[in-house]
Structure 1
Amino acid sequence: MSTPRDLLITASEPAIGRSVEQGDLSLALAGAEAVDLMTAGAVTLADDRLVPGERSPLADPLLDRAAAALNRQAPYETVADWLWRRGRDLTPAYLAALEADGELEERRQRRWVVLRTTSIVPADTPARRRAAQRWAAAEPVLAGLGAAVGLRDATPPVADPGTATVLAAVGDAVGELAAERRRRARRRQDAAAENVRRGY
Structure 2
Amino acid sequence: MTTSRDLLIVTMDDAAAGSTVDPDDLSLALAGAELVDLVGAGAITLDGERIVPGAATATGDRLLDRASSSVLRQEPYETVDHWLWRRGDTLSAEYVAALEADGDAVRPRHRWIPVRSDRLALVDSPARVHAAERWASGDPVLSLLAVAAGVPARPTDTADRVTDEVTVTVVDAVNQAVTELEARRQRRKIEKDAFDNIWRAP
> TM-score normalized by structure 1?
0.91
Query: How big is each residue's C-alpha offset from its partner over 1:91-114, in whole Å with a ceiling of 9 and x where there is no partner?
Result: 11111111010111124579xxxx
1:16 & 1:144 partners in 2: Cα distance?
A: 19
Higher strand share: 1
CA contact (8 A) 1:10 1:131 kept: yes
The residue matched to 2:185 in structure 1 has which SS? Answer: helix
SS of residue matched to 2:107 = strand
Asked if structure 2 preserves the Cα contact closer than 8 Å seen for 1:108 and 1:118, the reply is no
Task: Find the aligned partners of 2:98 and 2:118 in 1 and give their Cα distance.
Answer: 19
Alignment-derived partner of residue 167 in structure 1: 171
CA separation of 1:88/1:170 partners in 2, compared to 1, >3 Å: closer, same or farther? same
Q: Compare 126-135 and 171-180 and name the one that shifted more.
A: 126-135
Moved beyond 4 Å, runs of 4+: none
Cα contact 1:27–1:174 (8 A) shared by 2: yes
Deviations 1:31-66 (A, max 9, x none): 000000001111000011110100121110110010
Structure 2 residues not aligned, in runs of 5+: none
Match of 2:150 in 1: 150
Q: Percent identity?
A: 48
Alignment check: 8 A CA contact 1:145 1:167 kept? yes
SS in 2 for 1:119: coil
- 2:11–2:151 CA contact under 8 A, matched in 1: yes
Number of residue equivalences: 194
In structure 1, list runs of 5 or more residues that go unmatched: 111-115
Name 2:190's counterpart in structure 1. Answer: 186
Asked if the contact 1:148–1:170 (Cα under 8 Å) also holds between the matched residues in 2, the reply is yes
TM-score of the superposed pair, with normalisation by structure 2: 0.90
8 Å Cα contact 1:104-1:122 kept in structure 2: yes
Equivalent residues of 2:27, 2:90 under 8 A apart: yes
- Which whole-Å CA distance do the structure 2 matches of 1:66 and 1:184 have between them? 30
